[in-house]
Amino acid sequence: MKIGPLGRMVEIPQPDSGMGFNREADFEVSELVGGGRMVERAPVTFGTFNMSWKGGRSGLSKNLQPLIDLYNGGISNGTDDALYMIDPGVKDDNILPPYWASAWQLAHVANGVFRPTVQTMTGDPKYPSRKVARFTLGTSQSPVMMSKLISINVPLSPGRLPYLKVWGTRTATSGIDVRLRTAVNGMWSSPVRYAPTTSTTAAPTAIMTALNAESDLYDAVKLSVALDASSELSLGHITLGYTNDTAASFPHGTGVGPLQFSSALQGTLDSQTIDRIGLSVDLTELRHVRSDLPEM
């Protein structure tokens, strides 16, 4: 598997016995005077991960040294400290995290900026959540700020052709902006805007040529919510994956957003100790990357 900042991802061994994973939500429980409880649950979840490697084999420290360097700040892309992960064992028909795949949750990712609303969806009964996020941009509001605030970077698997499908409605030319990151220099391409559709049988669209995918010209993609002045955009579901299946389905998001270390690196960091007792570390999924946030 690979982990690290964009452009500086490193190969590390698969954790022993798989990787511990929790999908969590924040809760607030209130005690009622008349008895019972009231529970408020955050609408958007986040992931936590535990990776551990058992000792008892020679060479473990050498294979894990890139992870130690990441933790110690020895590996960076120079722009942000967020980590990304490519796990070949994850189902890849939708590599977006759940809060982007079930795109109505983007209304909460925006943290109230531009006052997006969650509305009940009318239309295809196959759509699972029956909700959409409705964004409205006034004449005095900044399209640039919105695209920076509601965006995500997704690392791409080498040699594979990614496809995108956006389910929703719009006015004017609003949609999802796609930028591709050139592997050799880290430069982002100019945005290409993809329109939402209400057709469940429309085929996803390739976001690059097959030749560029085969040659690994790009190593990541940035998706951004993009509105024109005085326009609206309603989003229900977004698929980014490695299949152009036209089946009437809404594949759930199996990917993970940006990550950061959230525990001590367990184990004395010298080669003999790592080889003997192993190593473990926790990571937590982030909602936003600092370098992508606009200046407010």
What are the pLDDT digits (tens) for 61-117? 788 889 989 999 999 988 877 999 998 777 788 999 999 999 999 998 877 677 788
Mean of per-residue pLDDT scores for the chain: 85
Residue 296 CB neighbours (<10 A): 6
Give 152-208 pLDDT, tens digit per residue.
Answer: 999 999 999 999 999 999 998 999 999 999 999 999 999 999 999 988 788 899 999
Domain residue spans of the chain: 1-88+256-296, 91-254
Tell me the per-residue pLDDT of 22-64, one tens digit each, with 9 for 90 and over: 888 888 888 888 888 888 888 888 889 998 888 766 677 788 8
Angle of CA points 162, 167, 168, to nearest 5°: 145
Torsion region of 36: left, alpha or beta (phi above 0 gives left; psi -120 to 50 gives alpha): left
Of residues 223, 254, 253, the one with CA closest to residue 149? 223
| Beta-carbon-side half-sphere exposure of residue 230 (alpha carbons within 13 Å) | 1
The whole model's pTM is what?
A: 0.88
Q: What is the pLDDT of residue 296?
A: 45
User: 193, 175 in Cβ contact below 8 A?
Assistant: yes
The CATH class, in words, for 91-254 is: mainly beta
* Residue 268: pLDDT over 70: no
